[in-house]
């Protein structure tokens, strides 16, 4: 199974989840739900550091109340984000940390806070859709692959189709 087509499952009631919450508490970063007036800033940032697809997902996550987009800041500067319940219910993601801030525990802290929010909304499991860094999720949350082929993301429209048909 290719990593970018693989979905992972996380149990929100296992010991590893408690460990994740404790580890995240020690990370020196502020994490909070993003607010609607911040949407344009977050969209620009996600486009600059990640992808247009993720801009779309962030927009949907932020359109809900309560917001399904968490942001990580250091001294008021945006350094990371994480969304949940965005492309599909029960899904964590997308998430990303600015390249020069990686390896400091911020991705783990965002994951912990987002999964905690999902648990608070009644989920017992979370799905991490179409992962890239499966090892990161395995270490952080004991996430393991769902043995199935196919993904909600697999037949997305591609920008090239739009440009080919544009007048
Ligand atoms: C994945 C990502 C969010 C992790 O953020 P981060 O802040 O660097 O993560 P952390 O510092 O909390 O890392 C925790 C541990 O996971 C490891 N890790 C981080 N990224 C990893 C990766 N891509 N693959 C394997 N291990 C990884 C770290 O080395 C660290 O291990 P350590 O505790 O032994 O040092 C970040 O690398 C990123 O933005 N990647 C690009 C976007 C992306 O792939 N998002 C996920 C889409 S599903």
Whether residue 94 is preceded by a cis peptide bond, meaning omega within 30 degrees of 0, is yes
Please report, for residues 37, 60, 106, the alpha-carbon distance to residue 103 in angstroms, rounded to integers and kept in the order given: 29, 28, 7
Q: Which atom of ligand 1 is nearest to the CA of 130?
A: 48
Q: What is the pLDDT of residues 27-69, one digit of tens each?
A: 999 999 999 999 999 999 999 999 999 999 999 999 999 999 9
Q: What is the pLDDT of residues 67-121, one digit of tens each?
A: 999 999 999 999 999 999 999 999 999 999 999 999 999 999 999 999 999 999 9
Q: Are 2 and 132 in contact (CB under 8 A)?
A: no
Question: How much is the pLDDT for 151?
Answer: 87
Ligand 1 near 115 CB (within 6 A): no
Ligand 1 near 102 CB (within 6 A): yes
Residue 149 alpha carbon to ligand 1 centre in Å = 25
Three-class DSSP category at 141: helix
Q: What is the pLDDT of residues 107-157, one digit of tens each?
A: 999 999 999 999 999 999 999 998 889 999 999 999 999 988 888 998 899
Phi-psi region of 150 (alpha: psi -120 to 50; beta: other; left: phi over 0): left
> Which residue among 103, 127, 128 has the greatest number of ligand 1 atoms within 8 angstroms of its CB, and so is best to mutate?
103
- pTM, to two decimals: 0.94
**In the numeric block, which tokens belong to residue 119?**
């648990």
Ligand 1 near 83 CB (within 6 A): no
């Amino acid at each position: 199974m290719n990593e970018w087509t693989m979905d992972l499952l996380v149990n929100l009631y296992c010991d590893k989840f408690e460990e994740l919450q404790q580890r995240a508490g020690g990370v020196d970063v502020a994490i909070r739900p993003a607010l609607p007036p911040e949407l344009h800033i977050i969209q620009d940032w996600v486009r600059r550091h990640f992808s247009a697809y993720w801009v779309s997902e962030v927009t949907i996550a932020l359109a809900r109340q309560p917001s399904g987009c968490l942001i990580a800041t250091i001294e008021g500067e945006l350094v990371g984000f994480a969304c949940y319940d965005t492309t599909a219910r029960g899904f964590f993601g997308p998430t990303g940390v600015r390249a020069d801030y990686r390896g400091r525990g911020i991705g783990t802290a965002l994951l912990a806070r987002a999964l905690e929010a999902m648990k608070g909304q009644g989920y017992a499991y979370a799905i991490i859709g179409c992962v890239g860094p499966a090892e990161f999720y395995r270490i952080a949350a004991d996430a393991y692959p769902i043995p199935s082929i196919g993904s909600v993301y697999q037949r997305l429209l591609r920008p090239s189709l739009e440009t080919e048909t544009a007048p």
